[in-house]
A and B are shown apart, each in its own frame.
Chain A
Amino acid sequence: MSPDAQKVKITYREAMRQAIRDALIRDQRVFLMGEDVGAYGGCYAVSKGLLEEFGPDRIRDTPLSESAFVGAGIGAAMNGMRPIVEIMTVNFSLLALDQIVNNAATILHMSGGQINIPLVIRMTTGAGRQLAAQHSHSLEGWYAHIPGIKVLAPATLEDARGMLWTALEDPDPVLIFEHGTLYNMEGEMAVDAGAVEISKAAVRRAGTDVSLITYGGTLGKTIQAAEQLAASGVDAEVVDLRTLRPLDTESILDSVMRTHRAVVIDEGWRSGSISAEISARIMEGAFYELDLPVERICSAEVPMPYARHLEEAALPQASTIVATVTRMMGGHG
């Protein structure tokens, strides 16, 4: 992309749709399959209009059979296709956990490297829309526990537009987690935006005082917090992990070695979480560089409540990030 490349106003939803459409045009082996992806237009309207353009073979509505259609995606990938399987929310993906964990993640290794599974599974994750405890959880950290799959969390328009194609070109199964509050996010994106690499974290805001490490739906809140901190003289660096498995440990450590302070912000629960993993890696790789213990800001350990004030209290917020960093800087500023 050239610096003066033409830009367009676009939403995250539209960027994702462009990515799917682009993949369908580029490769005849690609098809989209899931609940209400066709006639309904996608439960979050991501695939709106694609059925009319590509027809029911390639925009394939499925019955409410998560395990069967996710497994069918795996089988189709083993048999030469490049399926994109959509699951409505991460909570529903638990109905397909057998296929994802016992098949998609294992078959390459279990077959001694003979059989690849070039499959992409997309799903919505996260809270913030008052959808309560069966539509709001952030379980991507769980999936990041599993060797054999890759876990992506696009948090920007460019990543929504660009990660899918790279994921489809990957010979291994890739899970893409789209935070539900991002679909309406609007901004400017280069008209020629395309594939992006999916193995590196990105520094979204450079800073020198503290590393705020996050991904997905909490990136916006973290940047907001960093701006507020800047107003009070604290220069925070914001690291967007982008990929939760494999974790880009190098970029995390690189940032922490410069700032000597780290806060991990994760919408998942704290116990046994990806935030715990990141904290452990910082401890293993940069312990003597730290001025302070690593801090974590996670969701409260409770199933997500419905009432707005309770949901907000359960989630990481910009104000919590600001308060935590201010406290950290207070002692060692």
Chain B
Amino acid sequence: MALQPTIATPNLDAGHAIALLRDMVRIRRFEEKAAELYSASKIRGFLHLYIGEEAVAVGAMRALRPEDAVVATYREHGHALLRGVSADSIMAEMYGKQEGCSRGRGGSMHLFDAATRFYGGNAIVGGGLPLAIGFALADKLQHRQRVTACFFGDGAVAEGEFHECMNLAALWKLPVLLCCENNLYAMGTALKRAQSQTDLSLKAAAYEIASWPVDGMDVVACEEAAQRAALAVRSGEGPCFLEFRTYRFRAHSMYDPQLYRDKREVEEWKKRDPIATFQNRLTTQGVLDDANMKRIEDEVASEIEKAIAFAESGTWEPIEDLTRFAYSGEKPT
């Protein structure tokens, strides 16, 4: 008997499916606009797009509650948006305006928002993992039923901090949800050129962490895995490691001619575009029609236009405030 298409998940109701689709479209359109604004020199510095990987963040973030914490990477616009950081404040941050979520001190790579417990925006590969370990340790010591979700890429697996943290997470049975976004490239270095063992979930398993690979191009699979893992983590079973197998459609950042990969490979992966495939499934199922889709696109477009207007009308922090926040309170010399 042929396998059923994965969309036949019994408890995926129409409203929920459309919400998942909408979340992915939100990230995609926001980032497409960010890329345009980068070309127009409105946004500077480094800009790392998540396009192609949206299903991962959409699925994973659904498993989190407001009291949980998120530690993400420098490719985090989508995570921040879904966590509830407003598109306005993210866009203003990328413009460098003081209305930005990090007051223009962080930029694209360092989105922070204490209100939604979104703790970066960390641009040292692997460097967010120890922070997440500490968040989870604090929750465990305080007997709080919270999850810390830590996102990192396949590149982080090569860092010593990754191995130190896998060990600590397991050794101390910490409530941390380890979300490895394996997009097969650490900047331009293919996973197979960097790792003797390319099955990354096995690395976590070696530390006695419950771990499994997930189809990172399938938003339903991502959500299902994240819900299951978050439940285990929240109930005190210790860490879980999800290896989301995904792919980055765009360049690493805005300066990358992509000499390290074959265009045909990119085209092959694009056939599995998480948005297009899910949209097709929902249309085939009769859950989604053109009117629904248009409404999603219109709502998202309007949110983004509003964010751009907000960023454009934002203000520059006075130069006199330059050294503010190096320390709390008074400015030491």
A interface, CB within 8 angstroms of B: 31, 57, 62-63, 65, 67-81, 83, 98-99, 102-103, 107-116, 147-148, 150, 171-172, 199, 245-247, 249
Q: How far is the CB of A211 from chain B (nearest CB, A)?
A: 20
| B130 and A99 form a contact (CB under 8 A) | yes
| A111/B114 in contact, CB under 8 A | yes
- Give the interface centre of B112, B141, B171 by most chain A CB atoms within 10 Å: B141
How many Å lie between the Cα of A150 and that of B104 in the bound state? 24
A257 to B163: give the CA distance in the assembly, Å. Answer: 54
- Stretch touching chain A among B181-189, B239-247, B319-327: B319-327
| Nearest-neighbor residue (CB-CB) of A173 within chain B | B327
Q: Does the CB pair B160–A67 fall under 8 Å?
A: yes
Cβ-defined contact, B137 with A113, below 8 A: no
**B1 interfacial contact with A, CB 8 Å:** no
Q: How far is the CB of B196 from chain A (nearest CB, A)?
A: 21
Residues on A with beta carbons closer than 8 Å to the beta carbon of B134: 71-79, 83
**What distance in Å separates the Cβ of B64 from its nearest Cβ neighbour in chain A?**
15
Residue pair A76, B138 in contact (C-beta under 8 Å): yes
Question: Smallest Cβ distance from B206 to chain A, in angstroms?
Answer: 15
Of residues 91 through 127 on chain B, the ones whose CB sits less than 8 Å from some CB of chain A are 98, 100-106, 110, 112-114, 119-122, 124, 127
Inter-subunit contact A76/B161 (CB<8 Å): no
Q: Can you show 11 pairs from A to B with CB atoms below 8 A apart?
A: A57-B141, A67-B164, A74-B134, A79-B69, A99-B127, A99-B130, A102-B124, A107-B112, A111-B114, A112-B98, A199-B332
CB-defined interface of B48-80 with A at 8 Å, one 1/0 digit per residue? 000000000000000000000101000000000
Interchain CA distance A80-B161 in the complex, whole Å: 23
Find out whether the CB atom of A115 lies under 8 angstroms from the CB atom of B326. no
Complexed CA–CA distance, A95 and B33 (Å): 40
B26 to chain A minimum Cβ distance, whole angstroms, is: 24
**A98-B161, A110-B110, A172-B327 given; A75·B132 CB < 8 A:** yes
In contact, B127 and A103 (Cβ under 8 angstroms): yes
Residues A116 and B328 in contact, CB atoms below 8 Å apart: yes
| CB nearest to B100 among chain A residues | A112
Are B130 and A74 in contact, with the CB atoms below 8 A?
A: yes
Using a CB–CB cutoff of 8 Å, the interface residues on chain B facing chain A are 69, 71, 98, 100-106, 110, 112-114, 119-122, 124, 127, 129-139, 141-142, 148, 160-161, 164-165, 167-168, 171, 323-329, 332-333
Q: CB distance A69 to B138 under 8 Å?
A: no
Complex Cα–Cα for A297 and B138 (A): 44
Question: Which of B104, B133, B135, B327 has the largest number of chain A CB atoms within 10 A?
Answer: B327
A277 to chain B, nearest CB (A): 11
B133 & A113 in contact (Cβ 8 Å cutoff): no
A80 cross-chain contacts in B, Cβ below 8 A = 138, 142
The secondary structure that dominates the B interface is: mixed
Tell me, in angstroms, the Cα distance from A74 to B161 when the chains sit together: 14
From A243, which residue of chain B is reached at the shortest CB distance?
A: B332
Cβ–Cβ < 8 Å partners of B104 in chain A: 112
- Chain A residues lying within 8 Å of B102, measured Cβ to Cβ, are 110-112, 114
A229–B103 alpha-carbon span in the complex (Å)? 55
Is B326 a contact of A72 with CB atoms below 8 Å? no
Bound together, the chains give a CA A149 to CA B135 distance in angstroms of 20
Q: A65-B164, A65-B167, A115-B114 are in contact. Are A98 and B327 (CB under 8 A)?
A: no
| Contact between chains at A75 and B133 (CB < 8 Å) | yes
Residues of A within 8 A of B101 (CB): 112
**B120 and A112 within 8 A (CB):** no
A-B pairs with lowest CB-CB distance, top 6 = A71-B130, A75-B134, A112-B103, A246-B332, A68-B164, A111-B112
- The docked-state distance in angstroms from the alpha carbon of A101 to that of B114 is 21
Please, how many angstroms separate the alpha-carbon atoms of A77 and B131 in the complex?
A: 9
Q: Which of B129, B131, B168, B332 contacts A78 (CB 8 A)?
A: B131
Give the distance to chain B from A169, nearest Cβ to Cβ, in Å.
11
A75 near B333 with CB under 8 A, answer: no
Given contact pairs A71-B129, A78-B134, A111 touches B105 in the complex (Cβ within 8 A): yes
CB distance from B135 to the nearest CB of A (A): 4
**Beyond the given A68-B130, A112-B106, could you list 11 further A-B residue pairs with CB under 8 A, ordered by the A residue number?**
A72-B133, A76-B141, A81-B142, A98-B161, A103-B124, A103-B127, A110-B106, A110-B120, A111-B105, A112-B101, A113-B324
Chain A residues whose CB sits within 8 angstroms of the CB of B167 once the complex forms: 63, 65, 68
Bound-state CA distance A81–B333 (Å) is 28
Which residues of A sit under 8 angstroms from B133, Cβ to Cβ? Answer: 68, 71-72, 75
Contacting residues, chain B, for A98 (C-beta < 8 A)? 124, 127, 161
Alpha-carbon distance A70/B71, docked complex (angstroms): 16
Residues of B close to A247: CB separation below 8 A: 333
